[in-house]
Structure 1
Amino acid sequence: MASGVTAGTRWASRAQFFASGFIFATWGVHVPTVKAHYAIDEAQLGLAMLAAGAGAMVGLTSAGRWIGRHGPRRMAALCGCIYALLIAGLIAMPGYAALLGLLAVFGLVTSVFDVAINTEAAQLELRGGQPLMSGMHGMFSLGGMVGAASGSAALAAGMAAQTHLWTVATVMIALVAIASTRMLPTPAAPADGAAASDRGFRLPRGVLAVLGVLAALGLIAEGAIYDWSVLYMQQELGSPQQQAALAYASFSAAMAAARFGGDAMRARFSPTALLRGSGVLAAVAMTLVLLTDLPWLALLGFAGVGVGFANVVPILFGASARVPGVAPANGIAAVSAIAYLGFMAGPAVIGLLARVSSLTAALYVVVAFAAALAASARFTGSGDSAAGKEE
């Protein structure tokens, strides 16, 4: 029964995912701004990013408990607004040490906000009886694309960096606050799950641990494309810079498009079948990229990889929210914690392998991890749909 689920609640959730992607992209746009403003080198910038990662891990250990106690609506409103506000402080800190503190809090509220809105999306699926998670993550991708494009355009037009940051913060605070008023009014966790949430974070075991590892594999592979595809086109295929940049664009655009079509796929196929097919497609497409000498064919392959990985995280997050005896917020937080470790470690893993061998050889990790996802798809369950029942 679609109790409490209306078009307004669904669009409110979509708006939250869009805001999350937009703010995240704004941080990405201003990484060079931060580096120049504080006159720091690459190592110090890496430490700043690590501070954000550490804050995110702290947030993930508490997210399930907080959301179980207060509900995703309140936590999304609070953390989403703080998340947006902190973006305005990126170049307003008195020094580098203060920046590290800001980014630690930034990472913390980001992770809790992400778990809250994913918990809301999972509950909308369960209550409404139809898959929605892929489309929600599509809105995150869309928000990222719009945020990056608008940020680049604003800076190219001569807008001061601080003005742009304050503009984004103001608009996103308004969007998050308004969207929060239309979210489900009751906590997403069931009555027995709410009590479980109060026990706090525990290292995931059993099915949750497997889902977390699979999510980590997916994010390592996905991050490898984001971080290394352009360099691969330039260095390995000899493509000019303007053509090489299309590798990132083709992957991102294909991923966003596939996520918007992903809910229809999740309604038609079981999570197990869809994850297996996604992994096979990503593995085959990446193999094509690494074997061809033709840049245009490599670009087509990168698009195929984007389609293959598009629904991996939505499938796994949906499965983690349906584990029997586990509150949705706790399941998502547990899987997110392991996945985030993979996301942080991925670029370094690929870089190390490329140093000891070659970038082409290192990127076969993507093929291997995609194949592992396909082989392990049975751990997602085999319900009739993403919104269906576990066996």
Structure 2
Amino acid sequence: MDTVLKPITIHKTVLRIAVGAMFFMAGLSFASWASRIATVQQKLGLSDAALGAVLFALPIGLMLSLPFSGWIITEVGSKRVLLTAIMGYGVALLGLGLAQNTLQLVLCLACYGFAGNTVNISVNTQAVAAEGLYDKPIMATFHGLWSLAGFTGAGIGTFMIGRKIDPFHHFIVIICLLLIGVIIASRYLYDDHETAKNTAPSTLALRDRLRLMIPLLTLGSIAFCSMICEGAMFDWSVIYFKKVILSPIALQGLGFTAFMATMASGRFVADFFSHRFRLKRTLQVSGCLTTTGLLVAVIFPHVYTAMAGFMLVGAGVSSVVPMVYSAAGKSKTMSPGVALAAVSTIGFVGFLVGPPVIGFIAGLATLRASFLFVGLMGAMVIFLSTRAKLDR
């Protein structure tokens, strides 16, 4: 049974723009938080190890959303879920800016993780619907917009830090931008309420659930390893430049900026690369770039060599998640929402678990040692994609 959503009532270009706008809004929200982590850490007086422990609230919130997201998308459709969840994402962001103690921060991070995973699954379900209208891959372009938003959010964060604007007032600006984007894009998203209800797994799929889940678990494992690397870059790249590279204050955001630049640009060419060289080769090259970049940053801890290493990491992780999500969304045995819920949740756990693990390793050893662990995850992408049976 082919369960890929194929919307026909919305012009494909209009739908593509609307879905891309929602990816941008989601990326802007997350990057806004990432850009102020160091500020919040200093405000609450948290050590690296304590920050790592606090950040575990994000994957806890994500895991709480796991049984909810796939089910609610099937019940009411990804459009309604996306519009509600992305505004909840913004409200949780405001809560992070208001947190006055560790407990409040943990609770807000859990809500932020819950909303973030729901946004992640629903917006990728919309992306699968849009991609179904094209005869070529376009998923990576959507994720490129998420990364471009991350670059934009980092720039806004740098500006706010430079002007000594507190995170709460910074996040008010972001939620206003989210509201404007949602109002404009909501009219043009694909309403898949009825379609989602009609794509429940067949009796055969239920009987052979374990066998059918193996390919999705493989895709999820690849995404998990890559997103550990991605999450580490988001949360620890600035701290790495500050504490390991010992760079001047003006250059402490250079590594993160370099990473985001190549990650965003890489996603705009990943569709072409995957279409020409197929999925397996794309994932193998991605893992090689990620591992090499992290080794360069660890072995040569200087400003410009580390910046070059982070650029390679950005290029490496750029194509993994969109390619994996695209493959999962084309499942012929279950609805895109359910398949994406399984794969994206596994991957997103890596995105959120990675940063706190880095903090614990840094507390036990050094921050450089923790980045070697991240490099190992890049090597695992090579191993898993080489062993996996990939269809394209």
Q: C-alpha displacement at 1:61, in angstroms?
A: 2.1
Distance in 2 between residues matched to 1:239 and 1:103, nearest whole Å: 29
- Rounded to whole Å, the distance in 2 between the matches of 1:119 and 1:19 is 16
Equivalent in the alignment of 2:119: 113
Aligned counterpart in structure 1 of residue 281 of structure 2, from 273, 298, 302: 273
> Which residue of structure 1 aligns with residue 317 of structure 2?
309
Q: How far did 1:149 drift?
A: 2.0
Structure-2 residue corresponding to 1:131? 137
C-alpha deviation, 1:273, in angstroms: 1.7
Alpha-carbon offset, residue 75 of structure 1? 0.8
Distance 1:283 1:351 in 2: 20
CA contact (8 A) 2:120 2:344 kept: no
SS of 2:331's equivalent in the other structure is coil
Corresponding position: 1:222 with 2:219: no
The sequence identity of aligned pairs, in percent, is 29
Q: Could you tell me how far 1:319 is from its partner in structure 2?
A: 1.6
User: How far apart in 1 are the matches of 2:344 and 2:148?
Assistant: 21
CA shift, 1:269, in A, is 2.6
Q: Give yes or no for contact 2:89–2:116 (8 Å, CA) kept in 1.
A: yes
Shift of 1:264: 2.1
Deviation at 1:331, TM superposition (A): 1.4
2:60 to 45, 54, 60: 54
Paired residue total: 378
Gaps of 5+ in 1: 384-391
Q: Provide the rounded CA distance (Å) in 2 between the counterparts of 1:90 and 1:357.
A: 29
Q: 1:80 to 1:235 in 2, by over 3 A?
A: closer
Residue 335 of structure 1 deviates from its aligned partner by 1.5
Instruction: Determine helix, strand or coil for the equivalent of 2:56.
Output: helix
Which structure has more RCO (C-alpha within 8 Å, separation ≥ 6)? 2
CA RMSD of aligned residues (A): 3.4
Counterpart CA distance in 2 for 1:236 and 1:148 is 21
Q: Quick one: structure 1 residues 248 and 322, their matched pair in 2 at CA, closer, same or farther if it must change by over 3 Å?
A: same
1:75-106 Cα offsets, whole Å, 9 max, x none, are: 11111122223333445579875665444333
Q: Secondary structure in 2 aligned to 1:214?
A: helix
Instruction: Specify which of 208, 213, 229 is matched with residue 221 of structure 2.
Output: 213
Measured at CA, do residues 148 and 281 of structure 1 come closer, stay the same or move farther in structure 2, by a change above 3 Å? closer
Q: Summarize the Cα distance change of 1:270–1:5 in structure 2 as closer, same or farther, 3 Å threshold.
A: farther
What TM-score, normalized to structure 2? 0.82
Q: 2:260 aligns with which of 235, 252, 266?
A: 252
Q: What corresponds to 1:387 in structure 2?
A: none
- Structure 1 CA distance, aligned partners of 2:243 and 2:164? 33
Which of 11, 15, 26 aligns to 2:21? It is 15
* Paired amino acid for 1:251: F
Q: 2:371 maps to what in 1? A: 363
TM-score using structure 1 length:
0.82
Which deviates more from structure 2 when the two are superposed, residues 54-63 or residues 286-295? 286-295
**Conserved 8 A contact 2:53-2:356:** no
Distance across 2 between alignment mates of 1:351 and 1:148: 21
The answer to whether the 8 A contact 2:34-2:234 is kept is no
Which runs of 5 or more residues in structure 2 are unaligned? 1-5
